[in-house]
Structure 1
Amino acid sequence: MLSHYERRRLEQIQEWFERDDPHLARALGQVGGPGGWARSRTLRYTIDALAVFLVVLGAATLNFGLIFFGAVCLAAAACLHVTRWNDTPPRHRRLE
């Protein structure tokens, strides 16, 4: 918990950043997941399809290396889905 003085000083610093360098203030105030290609829905579904394909191919050829790599891809795809790296724009945070 911040004291009244600390909160006021942080608000003054934030206002100074917003006046002096609005681009930096906007970048520092963003809340959300990573941007760019990591948020792509197409990327997530492509990793899903690749993982399923590798598991099926590995099972058909009894190649356990392909099955293992497919399982690793499935785990990565699950992380991408669960962490909610979605296509919504990041929010901006202000001190309260």
Structure 2
Amino acid sequence: MLSHHDRQELEKIERWFELTEPELAARLRSGKPAKPSLLRLAVLLGLDLMAGLLMLLGMVTNSPALLLIGLITVTAAVIAHLSRFGRD
């Protein structure tokens, strides 16, 4: 249980937060996460397509270098997708 002083301090912080960031405070109050930006979605989609094309091209041309770059790109895409879920 919080002391009276701690509750007052938390209320001050809450009021300051609502004054400085009203949109974020409203979203947090409603429990709805922010929608990802179109730029982020475009970058993720581009990264996915590039990874697939590099891997396909590496297999068709039998090029270990392209296959390796494709695998690295897939890894980057997976990390980018997972980081998105951590923020939602």
The ranges of structure 1 where at least 4 consecutive aligned residues each deviate by more than 6 angstroms after the TM superposition are none
Q: Among all aligned residue pairs of Structure 1 and Structure 2, give the percentage whose two residues are the same amino acid.
A: 25
Superposed CA deviations along residues 2-32 of structure 1, whole A, max 9, x for unmatched, are: 73332330221221343xxx3x334775776
Give TM-score, length-normalised by structure 1: 0.56
* Match of residue 61 from structure 1: 61
For structure 1, the residue ranges without an aligned partner over 5 or more in a row are: 92-96
Tell me how large the CA RMSD over aligned residues is. Answer: 3.4
For structure 2, the residue ranges without an aligned partner over 5 or more in a row are: none
Change in 2 beyond 3 A, CA 1:16/1:43: closer
- Bigger CA drift: 6-15 or 46-55? 6-15
More strand by share: 1
Cα distance in 1 for residues equivalent to 2:82 and 2:13: 35
More helix by share: 2
Aligned residues: 80
* Match of residue 82 from structure 1: 82
